[in-house]
Amino acid sequence: MKLIRKPHIELLETIGKQADLLNYPCYIVGGYVRDKLLNRPFKYDIDIVCVGSGIELAKAVGNAVNAKVTVFKNFGTASLRINNIDIELVGARKESYQRNSRKPIVEDGTLEDDQNRRDFTINAMAVCINAIHFGKLIDPFNGVEDLKNELLRTPLDPKQTYDDDPLRMLRAVRFANQLNFKIDPLSLKTIKDYSERLNILSKERITDELNKIILCDKPSIGFYLLDEIGLLQYILPEMLKLKGVDYVDGKGHKDNFIHTLEVLDNVCKVSEDLWLRWAAILHDIAKPNTKRFDKVNGWTFYGHEVVGARMVPKIFKRLRLPLDAKMKFVQKLVALHLRPIVLAKEEVTESAVRRLLFDAGDEIDKLMQLCDADITTKNEWKQKRYLRNFELVRVKLKEVEEKDHIRNFQPPVSGEIIMKSFGIGPSREVGTIKNAIKEAILDGEINNNYNEAYSFMLTQAKKLGLTLVE
């Protein structure tokens, strides 16, 4: 069983040689071993454990290959980069936990201690890189069998594993999603029983794992699991409110939880953009808040895009997600996600297209990807009709943009020109004229150029009683 990739043999032999000189047993651990056995691609990092000082070994390797070593003294780890490969070295550790903290008390330990503290058997395998046993697998928990059976199982009693570090519950979901594995039934039951332990984790750690789930090829698998084992309520309770179907007079609406996850999976087929995926997750998040029923229209969710956009900053702040341009991007897409759908249902006017381009700006292409993904009807005829209409919208968007240059619109006549033309300072009149010019361009009354905008400015100024300065 060849467990070391050919391009890395020389590098790992070099590290093993330095470990032998220090008399340290030394092993590759974790994802490198797992992914090699699964024939998954290499991810540019190698984790190495030695029975001794990881920092001392890293310094010895750094001297041998003339590589810079970064030391994290508080964690007892060191890292270096060789041939564009990130290598982290750490001494074997034994960990014990206090009930109300996920920060362990760490002591030096044996390889067995280090393998005992791993989250899953498939991550607890080690491969020796000392010269005498180079390439030998140490697999005390039958991780190879669990890989064959596509099973996630903890090395120790799952009660101890998940109680010690509740982050492992989220890692179970993430690996199940990434690898398409099943979680061991005893683990599933334990996670359900211990789900409340998620509360001791920092929001940053939770969100980091959640983002890794969202970046999976089909993240709906992870979200259904999070719901099934009771973790979603501690992370995104707003999503749980989307679940279920209400009926009045025999009329029901779609299950918006299922719909949201279908939209998310659809987006993932065309984009790896994390923030576009977040927009898919949150695009209908306000539907429970806006749900109404009347006998004429049935179920409605009027204004859910506006309410949803207002919810985005609060959700991002709670989850410690960035409150910068990334949040603004998600907020904008949530606010605008119905606009192209409305255009696809109606005759597409140039005015409506201009306004969509103006409001969406550079995000128009991402918005159209979200709208394509939002078509989850199982009616083949409806699906084809919507997609055909969206193509018409795209054609019109291109035509209008080429002609009118509305994307990232800047008014041809600035506020400074208005003030200088009429000898006035900053005032309500300046804003009124600027807005009138913008609306005239968006409505197609005038073209988006200086001469027509300047003539229109004169007309508007006259209405306000302003006189041109000679």
Burial 168-199 (b: 16+ CB within 10 A, else e): bbbbbbbbbbbbebebbeebbebbeebbebbe
Backbone angles phi, psi at 297, to 5 degrees: -100, -10
Provide the 8-state DSSP code for 414: -
CA–CA distances in Å: residue 116 to residues 85, 93, 162, 430: 27, 10, 13, 71
281-302 pLDDT, tens digit per residue, is 999 999 999 998 888 788 888 8
Provide the 8-state DSSP code for 399: H
Mean local confidence (pLDDT), 1-23: 91
Q: Which amino acid, 8?
A: H
Contact 285, 242 (CB under 8 A): yes
Determine the 3-state secondary structure of 187 from DSSP. helix
28-71 pLDDT, tens digit per residue, is 999 999 999 999 998 879 999 999 999 999 999 999 999 999 99
Q: How confident is the model at residue 102 (pLDDT cuts 50, 70, 90)?
A: low
**Is residue 339's pLDDT more than 90?**
no
The whole-number pLDDT of residue 297 equals 82
Q: How confident is the model at residue 101 (pLDDT cuts 50, 70, 90)?
A: low
Specify which residues 108 forms β-bridges with: 93
Mean local confidence (pLDDT), 393-410: 78
Q: How confident is the model at residue 451 (pLDDT cuts 50, 70, 90)?
A: confident
Specify which residues 85 forms β-bridges with: 82
Among 4-18, 321-335, 372-386, which stretch is predicted with the lowest mean pLDDT?
372-386
Mean local confidence (pLDDT), 77-84: 91
| Contacts for 105 with CB less than 8 Å, ≥ 6 apart | 95, 96, 97, 98
Mean local confidence (pLDDT), 74-78: 84
Pairing outcome for strands 69-72 and 77-82? antiparallel
Alpha carbon 119 to its chain centroid, in Å, reads 23
Cα end-to-end distance, the chain, whole Å: 89
The whole-number pLDDT of residue 239 equals 96
Which has more confidence, 54 or 445?
Answer: 54
Burial 138-162 (b: 16+ CB within 10 A, else e): bbebbbbebbeeebbbbbeebeebb
| Nearest residue to 52 (alpha-carbon basis) of 9, 74, 20 | 20
Is the entire prediction scored with pTM above 0.85?
Answer: yes
The whole-number pLDDT of residue 98 equals 58
Mean local confidence (pLDDT), 201-208: 94
Contact 282, 166 (CB under 8 A): no
Alpha carbon 363 to its chain centroid, in Å, reads 17
Among 223-237, 243-257, 334-348, which stretch is predicted with the lowest mean pLDDT?
334-348
**Is residue 81's pLDDT more than 70?**
yes
Q: What is the mean pLDDT of the chain?
A: 89
| Nearest residue to 283 (alpha-carbon basis) of 231, 235, 238 | 238
Mean local confidence (pLDDT), 352-358: 84
Q: Which amino acid, 154?
A: T
Question: Cα separation of 123 and 132, whole Å?
Answer: 24
The whole-number pLDDT of residue 311 equals 97
Mean local confidence (pLDDT), 243-248: 86
| In the block, residue with structure tokens 């109680």 | 163
Contact 348, 396 (CB under 8 A): yes
Q: How confident is the model at residue 329 (pLDDT cuts 50, 70, 90)?
A: very high
Which runs of consecutive H residues, i.e. helices, occur in 215-295? 220-228, 232-235, 237-240, 256-270, 274-282, 287-290
Domain boundaries, the chain: 6-143, 150-235, 415-463
Question: 150-235: which CATH topology?
Answer: Hydrophobic Seed Protein (1.10.110)
Could you say which architecture CATH assigns to the domain 6-143?
Answer: 2-Layer Sandwich (3.30)
**Is residue 270's pLDDT more than 90?**
yes
The whole-number pLDDT of residue 97 equals 55
**Is residue 399's pLDDT more than 90?**
no
